[in-house]
Amino acid sequence: MVTREDFISRFGGVFEHSPFIAERAYDAGLIGEPLTAAGVHAALSAQFRAASPEERLGVLRAHPDLAGRLAIAGELTEDSRKEQAGAGLDRLSPQEHARFTELNSAYTAKFGFPFIIAVTGLTRDDILTAFETRIDNDRETEFATACAQVEKIAHIRLAHLLPENI
């Protein structure tokens, strides 16, 4: 059986900068062998959903802006850097970067957390279209959408670390 320390070390960052989710999943006895992406995702997601609204908001706020200042400064987590680069967000034209910056600012001002989308498999245009559509949502709808996207990102990250099923 994987130890608590090893589990948290390996999966504590799956939900961006939020190791408490992995800690709670392990402590709740939700982690069984063999470890699979589906099983670990179910355990982590259950703890994310059980977290208070303030804790979930903290997880959302732990995510970086897309093509934002952390990306420019090279301060993204390795997972976030790879995900954004895979969608071409590291190769924006000055005009595209200005539009993302404008949308990031407006979105965060409106909702109190950054725009979150699982960028894997999406193009810059797909992301921009989703950004421009979702900014018109009400806060409750967008909070739920962002939480669902966080879970999707976590699943993608776990699929890179573990077999899906055994």
Long-range CB contacts (< 8 A, 24+ apart) of 83-86? 83/118, 83/119, 83/120, 83/153, 83/156, 84/119, 86/119, 86/120
63 in catalytic set: yes
Distance CA 151, CA 63 (A): 12
Nearest residue to 53 (alpha-carbon basis) of 143, 118, 163, 122: 143
Nearest residue to 77 (alpha-carbon basis) of 145, 157, 164: 157
Per the residue annotation, which of 17, 41, 63, 155 is the catalytic one?
63
User: Which sequence positions are flagged as catalytic?
Assistant: 63
